[in-house]
Amino acid sequence: MSRETATSRFVVPEFGSAGKLWVGFLAAVVLVGVAAWAYQLTTGLVVTGMRNVFSWGLYIMMFVLFVGLSAGGLIISSAPKFFHSHRYEGFARLGVLVSLACITVAGLLILPDIGRPERLYQFFTSPDFRSPMVWDFGIVILYGALNLWYLWLLTRRDLAARGSRLALGVEDTDAGRERDRTLMFWTAAVALPTAVALHSVTGWIFATQIGRGDWFSPLVAPVFIAKALVSGLGLLLVVSILVSRFTRFSVDREELTSLGKVLGIFLAFHVVYLLAAERLPHAWADHFGFWAITESFLIGESAYFWLWTVVGGAVPLVMLALPSFRKRVSVIFTASALAVFGTTFEGVRLVFTGYDAANIDAAPGISVGGEYAGVTTDIWASAGSYTPTLVEIAVTAGVIAIGALIVTLGLRYVPIQAEPESTAVATDGGETRREDR
Amino acid sequence: MTNYGLVIDQERCIGCHACAVTCKQENNVGLGQYWNRVLTEGGDKMDTPAGTYPENGEDGTLEMSYQPTACQHCDNAPCVKVCPVNATYTREDGIVEIDYDKCIGCRYCMAACPYNARVFNWDEPQTVPEDGTGDVPARPQGVVEKCTFCSHRVEEGLDPACVVNCPADARIFGDLDNEESTVSKYIKKYQTTRLLEDRGTDPKTYYIRGEMSPGRPQTSDKMESELDDVSVWSEPKDNGPVEESGGSGGGGSHGSLSNDALPHVPAFEGGDD
């Protein structure tokens, strides 16, 4: 039985000229990225800013960021489902779409970092299960598949109702919808621990390493979880507000404000509490006087620290804490964008703390490799330094554009706006929600 | 079981970089890369001491020593544990080696190695002459490489190139599991340290500091396990100077040098230098 009453709608019924321009722009960025990657493949990673001492760079920093970003949507849409609540229902589909895009970006960002991507099949033919990278490889693929499945599960009956081929033959029936609700519960039950595992395992890639400064800390995994909550929710809010501005997607103001408050709590837990918990023991053990301890506790070592804690932490936290302030959409948008921006620098800082100092730094140091011109004798470095090159930036931008394309096409071809059944007469219909749906 | 290890006597090391150079030649290590390097423990620059000159009638505090550094071939090697595709592995004989066919070039092992012993081929490695000078497999662009203890030599019963070509006999290679081997005896007898021991990597490279050892006993290219008669030097009598045995081992590859090199330094005297 096919039901004619729509319970959802496409927020972008078709691409207008602005939409086409946007898609064209993203496609162009992807093409530039692909060209840059092809150049890097033929010339070697010598075209990046990475060298022997500082051997991971922008790709890994952005991988860490996007793994975190992929958390928000899935958690916001699956946590209420798991507790049989209808809260934040309006964000559920968009959230999973954004998660899917982010985990795709994260996975793809690994490719350009690999020296010989054509050998990646070794992950299947010769895996070493001691390696956190194998765990992460598995969990990223599982998480990506789970997102894809979840998005399809959330929308397949609606797709079927519209005769979309994306329904893949599923039919829109009441019994089917009922069964899907049970499936959604179980998917949510799997999705939540998978999300926790994803961020922990990504943290453990670093936290297991005894050779790289502050990486070796049991706190890294919990910090990655907190970071994922902050940046993932931040991105979901940013995207929701943008999408509601530029498409027919509408957000529930009350839920938006409520999620803004949740973001404030995540920020307080992450940037204030976990950071303090991480820094205090070191500050205390390394210094003697009270003010010396306090200073070392409060004052960070690099610009990245300040970009993260103040611009991406304290400022949005204050914005979301002031009751009169935090109800404004512009405030929620700015605070969320800052939170995502700040989290970016947390990943950057993490990689830098691992590589900027060498454990054994006696002269002449470590041979950095690459670009030996035969002119200078200075092939040595006793500390790491890194600046991304244009090639790295172009490749990274290309991969991120793929994520933006996924979101854009999702808005066009997947009914992102779930609607209460009773008000589903007009396709641009109501703002009201039915709690018992 | 064989478990190869290396002892480097820093009291003997003269900082000549012969081990670093011969390593490059033997293994065709590309320009701009070193598997084995000689670090100066002292001042900020190579070959500079730390401390002050003896001025105004005061004693100087100038201090400098050399620390040749390559892959430490750890028993608990983090690089082996992190390699997602088993490209870096520990051989039966304890040598940590890379299968260049498997290496995907993710560089996780470089992050894992606390010694920065690994180098990555950021582009196609170049050597002079073009075909290189050593008889080892070529490594392509995009893989990680490092010291192999010259496993291609070890398999033929020869000591690693850096060991054979150390003019100060400061490098001794052998089987740590064999209590009769020189490395085992030196580790027992002399004060040794290992690099970054607190990281728990359990390296198989030991550094002698304090009292100088008699150094590598044989002048042959061959490993001591390949020599016919090891009793002469393996059981020195009452701390006397270690007797030369290179000729008797049948390893005449040093040619006329083996006779010139006969007396190494007196064994246990002058240990304060």
Residue B201: the pLDDT is 97
**A358 interfaces chain B, CB cutoff of 8 Å:** yes
Residue A150 shares a structural domain with residue A173: yes
Q: Are A375 and A413 members of one domain? A: no
Per-residue pLDDT at B133 exceeds 60: yes
Is residue A237 one of the residues assigned to a domain? no
Q: Does residue A435 fall inside a structural domain?
A: no
Tell me, what amino acid is at A337?
Answer: A
For residues B242-266, average pLDDT: 43
Question: Going by C-beta distance under 8 Å and a sequence separation of 6 or more, which residues neighbour residue A79?
Answer: A188, A192
Chain A CB contacts of B29 below 8 Å: none
Per the structure block, which two tokens stand in for A200? 């922990």
* A contact test, residue of B17, B108, B116 with most A CBs within 10 A: B116
CA B259 to CA A10: how far, in whole Å?
90
Q: Contact A134/B84 with Cβ under 8 angstroms?
A: yes
Looking at residue B50, the DSSP 8-state letter turns out to be B
Residue B191 and residue B212: Cα distance in Å, rounded? Answer: 9
Do the Cβ atoms of B81 and A120 come within 8 Å? no
For residue range B59-80, list pLDDT tens digits in order: 889 999 999 999 999 999 999 9
Search chain B and give the residue with CA nearest A375. B32
Residues A383 and A349 in one domain: no
Mean pLDDT of B27-50: 95
Positions in chain A whose pLDDT score sits under 50? 1-5, 422-437
Considering only residues 293 to 332 of chain A, which have any Cβ-Cβ distance to chain B shorter than 8 Å? Answer: none
Does residue B255 surpass a pLDDT of 50?
no
Kindly state whether residues A183 and A283 are assigned to the same domain. Answer: no
Report how far apart, in Å, the C-alpha atoms of A428 and of each of A89, A250, A255, A407 are: 18, 10, 20, 20
**pLDDT at residue number A302:** 81
**CA distances to B65, B185, B201 from B46, in Å:** 10, 32, 27
pLDDT value at position A376?
58
CA pair distance B248, B262, nearest whole angstrom: 12
Compare B16 and B236 and report the one with higher pLDDT. Answer: B16
Question: Does residue B235 carry a pLDDT above 70?
Answer: no
Mean pLDDT within B29-56 = 93
Predicted local distance difference test score (pLDDT) of residue A387: 93
For the stretch B156-193, pLDDT in tens is 999 999 999 999 999 999 999 999 999 999 999 999 99
pLDDT of residue B244: 47
Helix (H, G, I), strand (E, B) or coil at B67: strand
- State the pLDDT at residue A372: 60
- pLDDT digits over B200-224, tens only? 999 999 999 999 999 999 999 999 9
Q: Give the chain A residue whose CA is nearest to the CA of B87.
A: A126
- Picking from A158, A174, A184, the residue whose alpha carbon sits closest to that of residue A11 is A158
Residue A429 domain flag: no
Residue, of A426 and B116, whose pLDDT is higher = B116
Q: Are residues A344 and A379 in the same domain?
A: no
Q: B31 vs A53: CB contact, 8 Å cut-off?
A: no
Higher-confidence residue of B134 and A423: namely B134
Q: Does A253 touch chain B (CB under 8 A)?
A: no
Q: Name the closest residue on chain A to residue B49, using Cα atoms.
A: A363
Structural domain count, chain A: 3
* Angle value at C-alpha B203, between B199 and B206, nearest 5 degrees: 120
Interface of A with B in 14-43 (CB under 8 A): 43
Helix and strand element counts for chain B (H, E): 8, 10
Cross-chain CB nearest to A127 (options B85, B110, B121): B85
Is B105–A211 a contact, with Cβ atoms under 8 angstroms apart? no
- Position B252 confidence tier, pLDDT thresholds 50, 70, 90: very low
List the single residue in A44, A116, A211 with the smallest CB-CB distance to B104. Answer: A116
What is the reported pLDDT for B232? 47
Interface check A119 vs B, CB under 8 A: yes
Q: Which candidate, B150, B145, B146, places its Cα nearest to that of B160?
A: B150
Question: B34 to chain A: nearest residue by CA?
Answer: A367
For residue A434, is it within any domain? no
Does residue A156 share a domain with residue A74?
yes
Tokens of residue A240, six digits: 């929701």
Say whether B46 and A46 touch across the interface (CB within 8 A). no
CB contact under 8 A, B32 and A44: no
Report yes or no on A11 lying in a domain. Answer: yes
* Angstroms from A329 CA to nearest CA on chain B: 42
Q: Is residue A75 part of a domain?
A: yes
- Same domain membership, residue A174 and residue A49: yes
How many whole angstroms separate alpha carbon B26 and alpha carbon B33?
14
The per-residue pLDDT for A86 is: 84
* A376 phi/psi in degrees, rounded to 5: -95, 150
The DSSP code for A227 is H
Pair (A299, A402) in one structural domain: no
**Residue pointed to by tokens 């940037």:** A271
Residue B108 with chain A: CB contacts under 8 Å: 131, 133, 205
Do A273 and A304 belong to one domain? yes
Over residues B233-258, mean pLDDT: 45
Mutation site for B-interface testing, chosen from A139, A367, A376, A380 by largest number of B Cβ within 10 Å: A367
pLDDT at A171: 84
**Chain centre distance of CA A100:** 9
**Helical ranges in A208-246 per DSSP H:** 220-246
Task: Report the alpha-carbon distance of residue A134 to residue B104 in Å, rounded.
Answer: 13
State how far the alpha carbon of B195 is from the alpha carbons of A245, A270, B201, in Å.
Answer: 59, 36, 9
Under a CB-based contact definition with an 8 Å cutoff, are residues B207 and A362 in contact? no
DSSP string computed for B218-255? --SSB-GGG-S--HHHHS-STTPPPPP-TTTTT-GGGT
Report the pLDDT value the prediction gives residue B79, as an integer from 0 to 100.
97
Chains A and B form CB pairs within 8 A to the count of 176
Shortest alpha-carbon distance between residue A207 and chain B (Å): 11
**Are A149 and A288 in a shared domain?**
no
Q: How many CA atoms lie within 13 A of A71 on its CB side?
A: 28
Question: A370–B123: do the CB atoms touch at under 8 Å?
Answer: yes
Closest CA of chain B from A193, distance in Å: 23
pLDDT band at B24 (very low <50, low <70, confident <90, very high): very high
CA dist A72 → A186, A199, A277, A297 (Å) = 19, 12, 24, 30
Residue A158 falls within a domain, yes or no? yes
Predicted confidence (pLDDT) at residue B263 exceeds the cutoff of 60: no
Do the chains contact at B39 and A362, CB–CB below 8 Å? yes
* Chain A residues whose beta carbon lies within 8 Å of the beta carbon of residue B110: 52, 55
Whether B86 sits inside 8 A of A126 (CB atoms) is: yes
Is residue A87 in some structural domain?
A: yes
pLDDT in tens, A212-229: 988 999 999 999 999 999
Same domain assignment for residues A368 and A406: no
Residues A188 and A315 in one domain: no
How are the residues of chain B apportioned to helix, strand and coil, as percentages rounded to the nearest 5? 20, 15, 65
Range of the domain at A284: 214-228+253-356
